[in-house]
Amino acid sequence: MAMLNTGDILETIKMIQEENLDIRTITMGISLIDCIDSDIDRACDKIYEKMMRRAENLVKTGEDIEKQYGIPIINKRISVTPIAIVAAATKQSPVKFAKTLQRVAEGTGVNYIGGYSALVHKGFSAGDKELIESIPEALAETTNVCSSVNVGSTKAGINMDAVAMMGKIIRQASEKTKNDHCFGAAKIVVFCNAPEDNPFMAGAFHGVGEYDTEINVGVSGPGVVRAALSKHPDANISEIADVIKKTAFKITRMGQLVGTEASKRLGVPFGIVDLSLAPTPAVGDSVAHILEEIGLESCGAHGTTACLALLNDAVKKGGVMASSHVGGLSGAFIPVSEDAGMIDAVNRGALTLEKLEAMTAVCSVGLDMIVVPGDTSADTISAIIADEAAIGMVNSKTTAVRVIPAIGMKEGETLEFGGLFGSGPVMKVSGFSASKFISRGGRIPAPLQSLKN
């Protein structure tokens, strides 16, 4: 046939059927700047009207593309302008905005809406503190709204007042939802260098420099990478990098196809493909297992950081050529509770918080979906955030913290979330205090960008 090679066709089918290849998310970014109003009810009405109009066909279009191409598209989602910007003019508690977003989620059928957010990497402007303080209540009173706060950047440094606040906010969010697996805290991401076009939850928001409405796509496929590597048991590391690049290329091409098709059908500009390896708790969909396939007895062993650096870089190199626009987080995710291999590694004592922190220096995001003991203090959570933000700030990369204090639980127990969120072993944190450091407040100055050693 002017056509396609049977081997290629069967390979694609195998990737989808057996190796969990899928499009993880089609996320529609919607700007709410034109919905700003000093009357909060009027602002909420405008938001509801605009979002319902723009996203009316998002879920249906996703399902149609899924059927036409035979590719599973797991999530359809929406990200919006950081609500702190929209809420500032109202001078009232922004929780009403969260409830409006919840109504939109129910009306459109999307599973999450991200953007109950504030960007405070240098300082707080009007509306920011009010929004941050309302996060625990907003997340307890909604089910499909996600929140994120950017507390640092390479250009601005780290806002330590915001870092101190976020430790408390995460604890409160967990306490307010303790009868619901402390799930409030799983819907908060604290960023350094947050990307403005990220399609993945819980950290998605729609930056102010983006299109009015756009489509961003997140691909996945840790299982495909692992399966490809398992066919090369004797390859050297250069060859391993090559196999990963070729696989990432194919995965990303699929994302590019789905993204451009969705953008065409919805009449909305195509933003980016986020070429991330996003694991799920499903068997065979683990990033930890890729690292083990490269040659580690367990994820967390010495050598893990090097394997992850190789994986992360090769995924980007393969993906960049496959897509016209790459953005978002792009890299390997290492969430603990959402990755069967990571959970096993923690349970067998191979993977610790310290090792995970080192891994975040070379991978896509940060300390993600990590369950800590219920008595972990707000200051200790803030200190974990500060460490992680420092890694992002100095290395000019995105880092994030999504930790869940498991109220009433101790190290060694397991917090069950269910579904895509999996379950998280409660991990050990240092018992030594950083309270004095956190209580000082102020800002960590932006780092030097030359003389790099």
Partner 1 sequence: MRAVVAVIGKDTVGILAKVSGICAEYRANVMDVTQTIMQDLFAMTMLIEISKLTIDYIDFAEKLKAAGTEMNLQVHVMHEDIFNSMHKI
Contact stretch for partner 1 (CB under 8 A) within 61-69, 296-304, 346-354, 416-424: 61-69
Residue from the set 36, 45, 69, 242 that interacts with partner 1 by CB under 8 A:
69
Does the protein bind partner 1 through residue 68 (CB under 8 A)?
yes
Closest to partner 1 by CB, 3 or 448: 3
Q: How far is the CB of 8 from partner 1 (least distance, A)?
A: 4
Decide: is 453 part of the binding site for partner 1 (CB under 8 A).
no
On the CB side of 114, how many CA atoms lie within 13 Å of its CA? 28
The distance of closest approach from Cβ of residue 323 to partner 1 in the complex, given in angstroms and rounded to an integer, is 10
Nearest one of 218, 208, 220, 219 to 27, comparing CA atoms: 218
Q: Shortest distance, CB of residue 249 to partner 1, whole angstroms?
A: 8
| Cβ-contact 318, 268 below 8 angstroms | no
Listing DSSP states for 330-384 in one string gives: -SB---STT-HHHHHHHHTT---HHHHHHHTTTSSS-EEEEEEETT--HHHHHHH
Q: Which is nearer to partner 1, 59 or 363 (CB)?
A: 59
Identify the CA nearest to 189 among candidates 220, 161, 150, 133.
Answer: 150
Instruction: Return the axis-axis angle of helices 237-266 and 222-230, rounded to nearest 10°.
Output: 150
For residues 231 and 221, give the distance between their C-alpha atoms in angstroms, rounded to a whole number.
Answer: 16
CA 85 vs. chain centroid, Å, equals 21
Beta carbon of residue 66, minimum distance to partner 1 (angstroms, whole number): 10
Q: Would you count residue 70 as binding partner 1 (CB under 8 A)?
A: yes
Q: Which of residues 236-255 bind partner 1 (CB under 8 A)?
A: 250, 253-254
- Shorter beta-carbon distance to partner 1: residue 6 or 453: 6
Q: Does 4 bind partner 1 (CB under 8 A)?
A: yes
Q: Give me the half-sphere count of Cα atoms (radius 13 Å) on the Cβ side of residue 50.
A: 21
* Residue 5 touching partner 1 (CB under 8 A): yes
Piece of 2-10, 26-34, 44-52, 405-413 that binds partner 1 (CB under 8 A) = 2-10
Is residue 59 a contact residue for partner 1 (CB under 8 A)? no
Phi, psi torsion values for 249, nearest 5 degrees: -60, -50
Residue 257 interacts with partner 1 (CB under 8 A): yes or no:
yes
- Best CA proximity match to 84, nearest among 76, 73, 92, 75: 92
Interacting residues with partner 1 (CB under 8 A)? 1, 3-6, 8-13, 17, 64, 67-71, 250, 253-254, 256-257
